[in-house]
């Protein structure tokens, strides 16, 4: 059986923006992200990066998955340095870079720990550090906090914003949580159910340091929930 996952997807993203892609389950959000990453080929259409068409994974575009995708036999430090190892960076340099990012995620004391010894939130921090250690211009994040409990998810959202404000990479963040999108995004792309297509493109004008108690936060959340119901 042939299924059309996406239709009429036309999207341009400027540098250093935090963009959330929001939509119901099964609308093609993850498929779209994998196409952008070069992990899947679209049956039609083209993807451009920096003015050039690209169709395969590249170092300038990093990706963080919902599952942590850490190598269970490697310690935290070596997991962070893995991409640099593949890129041929010398051991001394890649370990130095990995230590820097380990400090950035506030886990300097866990370099020798194995993934099985970490909580879910800590494993996802390591996955984010591994992606950033490759110095990407674009970071794709596919529901990275979806498996976390509510409290850890809020903490990780704050951590991600702190890291993003340091690096200012361009982030494309897939989520089905309206609250998460409103808290994180500069811009929210709202998708319809299958076949997925863009139905709204919303710029979030609230300043950073957003409080969920802010009336505007609640208003935008309600607006997006209504749009999702209609979609």
CATH number, domain containing residue 51: 3.40.50.300
Q: Are residues 101 and 144 in the same domain?
A: no
Instruction: Please tell me whether residues 198 and 146 are part of one structural domain.
Output: yes
Distance separating the N- and C-terminal Cα atoms of the chain? 24
Which residue in the block uniquely carries the two structure tokens 């951590």?
159
Same domain for 146 and 127, yes or no, is no
**Residue-wise pLDDT tens digits, 185-219:** 999 999 888 777 899 999 999 999 899 999 999 99
Q: Is residue 65 part of a domain?
A: no
Average pLDDT over residues 7-12: 84
Token pair 């591994």: residue: 130
Q: Is residue 61 within 8 Å of 111, Cβ to Cβ? A: no
Domain with 88 in it: 70-135
Q: Looking at the structure, tell me whether residues 83 and 38 fall in a common domain.
A: no
What pLDDT shows up at residue 161? 92
Give 77-115 pLDDT, tens digit per residue.
999 999 888 888 899 999 999 999 898 888 999 999 999
Q: How many domains does the chain have?
A: 2
Give Cβ neighbours of residue 11 (< 8 Å, ≥ 6 apart).
189, 198
CB 88 within 8 A of CB 62: no
C-alpha Rg value of the chain to the nearest Å: 18
Give yes or no for residue 179 having a pLDDT over 90: yes
Give the pLDDT of residue 202: 94
Pair (83, 161) in one structural domain: no
Residue 20, number of CB atoms within 10 A of its CB:
26
Let me know whether 45 and 122 are in one domain.
no
- Binned at pLDDT 50, 70 and 90, residue 67 comes out as confident
Q: Tell whether 193 and 115 lie within a shared domain.
A: no
160 and 221 in a single domain? The answer is yes
Same domain, 4 and 115: no
Q: Examine the domain organization and report whether 116 and 24 are in the same domain.
A: no
> Which of 18-27, 61-70, 81-90, 177-186 is most confident?
177-186
**Of 135, 155, 187, which residue sits at a domain end?**
135
Is 117 contained in some domain? yes
Look at residue 1 and tell me whether its pLDDT is greater than 70.
no
Element (H, E) at 182: helix 178-184
| Together in a domain, 150 and 231 | yes
Q: Is the pLDDT of residue 144 over 90?
A: no
Q: 98 in a domain, yes or no?
A: yes
Low-confidence winner among 53-62, 129-138, 181-190 (lowest mean pLDDT): 53-62
User: What's the predicted TM-score (pTM) here?
Assistant: 0.90
- Provide the pLDDT confidence category of residue 2 given band limits of 50, 70 and 90: low
Residue 4 clears pLDDT 80, i.e. is over it:
no
């Amino acid at each position: 059986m042939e299924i059309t996952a996406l239709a009429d997807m036309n999207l341009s993203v400027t540098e250093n923006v935090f963009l959330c892609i929001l939509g119901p389950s099964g609308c093609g959000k993850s498929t779209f992200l994998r196409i952008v990453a070069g992990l899947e080929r679209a049956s039609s259409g083209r993807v451009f990066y920096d003015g050039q068409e690209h169709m395969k994974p590249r170092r300038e575009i990093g990706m963080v998955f919902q599952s942590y995708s850490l190598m269970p036999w490697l310690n935290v430090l070596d997991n962070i340095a893995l991409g640099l190892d593949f890129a041929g960076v010398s051991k001394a340099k890649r370990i130095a870079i990995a230590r820097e990012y380990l400090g950035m995620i506030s886990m300097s004391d866990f370099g020798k720990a194995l993934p099985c010894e970490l909580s879910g939130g800590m494993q996802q921090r390591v996955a984010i550090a591994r992606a950033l250690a490759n110095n990407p211009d674009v970071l794709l994040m596919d529901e990275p906090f979806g498996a976390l409990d509510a409290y850890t998810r809020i903490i990780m959202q704050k951590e991600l914003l702190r890291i993003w404000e340091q690096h200012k990479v361009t982030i494309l963040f897939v989520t089905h949580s309206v609250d998460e999108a409103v808290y994180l995004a500069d811009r929210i792309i709202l998708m319809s159910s299958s076949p997925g297509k863009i139905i709204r493109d919303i710029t979030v004008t609230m300043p950073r340091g957003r409080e969920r108690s802010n009336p505007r936060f609640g208003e935008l959340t309600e607006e997006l929930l209504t749009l999702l119901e209609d979609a």
